[in-house]
Chain A
Amino acid sequence: MKTAFRTMLTMLIGVTLFACNQNSKGATAKGATTEESSQPQGQAAVKDDVSNPNVLQIAIGSASHTTLVAAVQAASLENALVNAGPLTVFAPTNEAFAKLPAGTVEDLLKPENKAALANILKYHVTPGNYSKEFLMKFKKLGQANNGSVEVEIKGGEIYVGGAKIIASIPASNGIIHVVDQVMLPKE
């Protein structure tokens, strides 16, 4: 029902705009942001395909982070990830999420668990732009959920909250470290 509604709306806007043939950009943004409260409203809605991509744009473009992106959207954290930051985001892969006990992800994505999900996701974000080498200067990091996470070096590899950094991608507002595990807050 909802989808049908959205399609109808889109068509209508399209038709109206076609008839209007002016100022289409502003009007589209309006249609997208005001009608659906689940749509990002705020900085995440800024259209900019020219600047270097930010953390959220990179995650959205990554085939191995679809679960993470779905979780970010379910927790309405899009705007936090496009902020000037800078942010260091530890991004568990789909495989990392799959390692969690069966049903965990599905449970977390339920609306009633939004706060718990947000807490876990914010535990993956450090205010600061820290490269892999730079992270070695820390023993612990203060995370956006108010918790802190340990940084360890084992066999020349760097582990954050037990998760191993397997790749690093610079973003316009920080850096993404792809990790092989979901980091779970202690309490």
Chain B
Amino acid sequence: MKTVQKFTLLSLIVLFAAGCNKNANTANDGALGSDAASRVYVKPGSYDEFYAFLSGGFSGQISVYGLPSGRLFRVIPIFSVDPEKGYGFNEETKPMLNTSHGIVPWDDAHHPELSQTNGETDGRWIFINGNNTPRIARVDLTTFETAEIIEIPNSGGNHSSPFTTQNTEYVVAGTRFSVPIPQKDIPIKDYKGNFKGALSFIKVNPETGNMNVEFQVLMPGFDYDLAHSGKGKSDGWTFFTTYNTEEGNSLLEVNASQNDKDFIAAINWKKAEEYIKAGKFREIPANYAHNVYDDKKHSATSTMIKTVRVLIPEECPGLVYFLPTPKSPHGVDVDPTGEYIVGNGKLSTDLTVHAFSKVLKAIEDKNFDGEAYGIPILKMDAIVGGVVKDAGLGPLHTEFDNQGNGYTSMFISSEVVKWKVGTWEILDRVPTYYSIGHLMIPGGDSQKPDGKYMVALNKITKDRFLPTGPELTQSAQLFDITGNKMELLLDFPTIGEPHYAQGIAASKIQSKSLKYYPLAENEHPFAAKAEKDTKVEREGNNVHIYMTTIRSHFAPDNIEGIKVGDKVYFHVTNLEQDWDVPHGFSVMGAQNAELLIMPGQTETLVWEPKQEGVIPFYCTDFCSALHQEMQGYLRVSAKNSNVPIKWSLGE
């Protein structure tokens, strides 16, 4: 002991002496091993081993990082408009944000979920839920752009979503808030029995990725919190945690915590498919938007869908069972074998682990503990496979490595606890800084985890970074989990709230990443695929400018004949066919945003001049040595003027 102290003392002195010569910020690395820096250092020009996709939470975006470096590569706008990229501001992407409530330009995006093939992440798409106005988005991982958004009908808050089945047959969407279905004007106090929770199964087309709401299971009016689908032996089932089985409609912090146990709802979706096939569904009226972006037309379309198929548990025996689980379970996570279903009772200190084989046995033996709304409740004693005792305070979520270990985040005790699947013994615990929510191991919710790194996603950072006023960045913390002890390597700041994340080996995505859109395949109705095709057309008050952009000019760059009160559409096609050469377009007084046009793409900005004059426009993305020369003028004349439409370049 004494020797250790002496050693520590010596190293401290060395450290402080070193601190004299340079910025002592490096001294703030806690109890890290001295080689942590080299283990996260990806030398300039080298690539990270993993992509990490962190949700932006209330920023409505996904941010893309490299692991282990923590370097930020891209922020993908999904549910939120993004003036930087013109997303939601240009005419092509506005329909992406259409809903039954009209354009909704923001959402709270929680759970990114990579598509899987045979239980393994395949790097094709990443899905994410919008909580507030219930939606699921699909991002294409060749373009890193939002490709599709589908609204979820009959939902009141799309939290338990969009967890995938093992071959991405479905992504799911469980409602957090139960609501009257169909919606109607009734007193809130009539909640009990009148409000229902819809658990939606969104079918994913295996070729195109396109989504449709295949069916919904209309469940009792509980709150459906999180979900995970079975895998391996439990493939064909999806598990949803519930709280508020008390069906309280006010002061839930008291009223939803009265029962010692809530349920995990186990849905047999293969059985559901049989019922659908047999016609045992009801088709009910609905109204929800389905928005698809077309990479050839470079435009999104929004379609309103008017019906949805629902299954009623009472009418479909064997479709749903309730697994009693202590104290308002939050996360429900299935181990890589599919045998164990971990329910993290957030008001408990224990993790309750159900064994899938026991669940099947209890169903077979009709080992029930009564029923709720016609749904059999399995006997808890008959299905519990194990309990991780005294794991920590406020257990939330579990991910798995490839060595048969579980890693559970503890909100209140601010730590990650590592435990052995099967023996339920606690192997290690490590503090996080601070107040961890989700955690992520690349592939950690699939059948094939990459058990090298674990990322803790923290809500609070207080003293971890230089302060920036009342709002501080939230953070991700990277741990090495290859040894017996988890080792903290790196803190890095995040965009918005890094609510949940997914990670994947870079090799599964890197080579498929698109470099440009082939101009020959551009089917945008207003594309000008060569400078000779550029033109300006007037249709009443609407003026369509077919414009091109290439290093380093716009065609045309002098335009006359625009009048006050016109609605001017700049349809700008980027003629470049070279990687990483977008052009920007902006015009003075535009009340939306800029355009940021990828090579081969066409985008449209609407501009409504309100006063006469000569108005400049220019390229905003530093594209070339002559970027500053990339400019043009528009002449705006009085409403009743006779100035003819005229356009030119270099005249």
Q: Which residues of A contact B (CB under 8 A)?
A: 5, 8-9, 12-13, 16-17, 19-20, 22-23, 26-27, 29-31, 33-35, 41-43, 45-48, 79-80, 83-85, 87, 122, 127-128, 137-138, 142, 144-146
**B16 & A17 in contact (Cβ 8 Å cutoff):** yes
**A47 & B24 in contact (Cβ 8 Å cutoff):** no
A20 to B22, CA, bound (A): 10
Given A42-B431, A43-B434, A146-B349, answer yes or no on A48-B462 (Cβ-Cβ < 8 Å). yes
A residues near B5, Cβ cutoff 8 Å: 5
Contact of A122 among B16, B393, B433 (CB under 8 A): B393
User: What are 13 A-B residue pairs whose CB atoms fall within 8 Å in the complex?
Assistant: A8-B9, A9-B9, A22-B20, A23-B27, A29-B28, A30-B27, A34-B30, A80-B414, A83-B435, A85-B412, A87-B412, A122-B393, A146-B390
**Nearest CB of chain A from residue B395's CB, rounded to whole Å:** 11
Contact of A20 among B13, B19, B254, B463 (CB under 8 A): B19
B residues near A5, Cβ cutoff 8 Å: 5, 9
Residue of B nearest to A5 (CB): B5
B residues near A17, Cβ cutoff 8 Å: 16
**B349 & A145 in contact (Cβ 8 Å cutoff):** yes
A45 to B31, CA, bound (A): 14
Contact of A42 among B8, B257, B434 (CB under 8 A): B434
**A23 & B393 in contact (Cβ 8 Å cutoff):** no
Given A31-B12, A80-B413, answer yes or no on A144-B349 (Cβ-Cβ < 8 Å). yes
- Interface members, chain B 374-423 (any A CB < 8 Å): 390, 393-394, 411-414
A51 to B316, CA, bound (A): 56
Given A34-B31, A142-B257, A146-B350, answer yes or no on A22-B24 (Cβ-Cβ < 8 Å). yes
A136 to B431, CA, bound (A): 35
Check if B104 is an interface residue, CB within 8 A of chain A.
Answer: no
A87 to B253, CA, bound (A): 12
B residues near A41, Cβ cutoff 8 Å: 30-31, 431
**A16 & B27 in contact (Cβ 8 Å cutoff):** no
Residue of B nearest to A8 (CB): B9
**A79 & B431 in contact (Cβ 8 Å cutoff):** yes
Check if B327 is an interface residue, CB within 8 A of chain A.
Answer: yes
A8 to B8, CA, bound (A): 13
**Nearest CB of chain A from residue B630's CB, rounded to whole Å:** 45
Contact of A27 among B16, B433, B462 (CB under 8 A): B16
B residues near A87, Cβ cutoff 8 Å: 412
Given A83-B412, A137-B254, answer yes or no on A42-B433 (Cβ-Cβ < 8 Å). yes
**A47 & B27 in contact (Cβ 8 Å cutoff):** no
Contact of A26 among B28, B348, B394, B435 (CB under 8 A): B28
**B411 & A16 in contact (Cβ 8 Å cutoff):** no
A77 to B251, CA, bound (A): 29
A1 to B390, CA, bound (A): 35
**B459 & A128 in contact (Cβ 8 Å cutoff):** no
A146 to B24, CA, bound (A): 43
B residues near A20, Cβ cutoff 8 Å: 16, 19-20, 24
A26 to B22, CA, bound (A): 13
**A142 & B347 in contact (Cβ 8 Å cutoff):** yes
**Nearest CB of chain B from residue A52's CB, rounded to whole Å:** 13
**B393 & A80 in contact (Cβ 8 Å cutoff):** yes
Contact of A12 among B9, B433, B463 (CB under 8 A): B9
**Nearest CB of chain A from residue B510's CB, rounded to whole Å:** 37
**The 3 residue pairs across chains A and B that have the minimum distance between CB atoms:** A23-B24, A16-B16, A46-B462
Contact of A16 among B17, B347, B390, B434 (CB under 8 A): B17
**B394 & A127 in contact (Cβ 8 Å cutoff):** yes
Q: Which residues of B contact A (CB under 8 A)?
A: 5, 8-9, 12-13, 15-17, 19-20, 23-25, 27-28, 30-31, 251, 253-254, 257, 327, 347-350, 390, 393-394, 411-414, 431, 433-435, 459-460, 462-463
Residue of A nearest to B29 (CB): A30
**B13 & A12 in contact (Cβ 8 Å cutoff):** yes
**Nearest CB of chain B from residue A93's CB, rounded to whole Å:** 24
A95 to B459, CA, bound (A): 38
**B463 & A29 in contact (Cβ 8 Å cutoff):** yes
Given A84-B435, A85-B412, answer yes or no on A46-B24 (Cβ-Cβ < 8 Å). no
**Nearest CB of chain A from residue B31's CB, rounded to whole Å:** 5
**Nearest CB of chain A from residue B4's CB, rounded to whole Å:** 10
Contact of B8 among A29, A35, A84, A85 (CB under 8 A): A35
A residues near B16, Cβ cutoff 8 Å: 13, 16-17, 20, 27
Given contacts A5-B9, A30-B30, A35-B8, 11 further A-B contacts (CB under 8 A): A16-B16, A22-B24, A23-B27, A42-B414, A42-B433, A80-B393, A84-B459, A122-B349, A137-B251, A137-B254, A142-B327
A181 to B600, CA, bound (A): 75
A175 to B31, CA, bound (A): 33
**A43 & B8 in contact (Cβ 8 Å cutoff):** no
**A144 & B12 in contact (Cβ 8 Å cutoff):** no
B residues near A16, Cβ cutoff 8 Å: 13, 16-17, 19-20
B residues near A35, Cβ cutoff 8 Å: 8-9, 12
A120 to B326, CA, bound (A): 21
Given A17-B16, A23-B19, answer yes or no on A144-B412 (Cβ-Cβ < 8 Å). yes
A residues near B390, Cβ cutoff 8 Å: 146
B residues near A19, Cβ cutoff 8 Å: 20
B residues near A13, Cβ cutoff 8 Å: 12, 16
A2 to B434, CA, bound (A): 30
A74 to B5, CA, bound (A): 21
**Nearest CB of chain B from residue A90's CB, rounded to whole Å:** 16
Given A9-B9, A46-B463, A145-B349, answer yes or no on A23-B23 (Cβ-Cβ < 8 Å). yes
Contact of B463 among A47, A137, A142 (CB under 8 A): A47
Residue of A nearest to B411 (CB): A83
A35 to B119, CA, bound (A): 45
**A127 & B254 in contact (Cβ 8 Å cutoff):** no
A residues near B349, Cβ cutoff 8 Å: 122, 144-146
**Nearest CB of chain A from residue B509's CB, rounded to whole Å:** 35
A residues near B394, Cβ cutoff 8 Å: 127
Contact of B30 among A9, A23, A33, A144 (CB under 8 A): A33
B residues near A83, Cβ cutoff 8 Å: 411-414, 434-435
A41 to B16, CA, bound (A): 20
A95 to B393, CA, bound (A): 28
**B253 & A128 in contact (Cβ 8 Å cutoff):** yes
**Nearest CB of chain B from residue A186's CB, rounded to whole Å:** 14
B residues near A43, Cβ cutoff 8 Å: 414, 433-435, 460, 462
A residues near B23, Cβ cutoff 8 Å: 23
B residues near A9, Cβ cutoff 8 Å: 9, 12
A residues near B25, Cβ cutoff 8 Å: 23, 26
**Nearest CB of chain B from residue A73's CB, rounded to whole Å:** 16
A79 to B433, CA, bound (A): 10
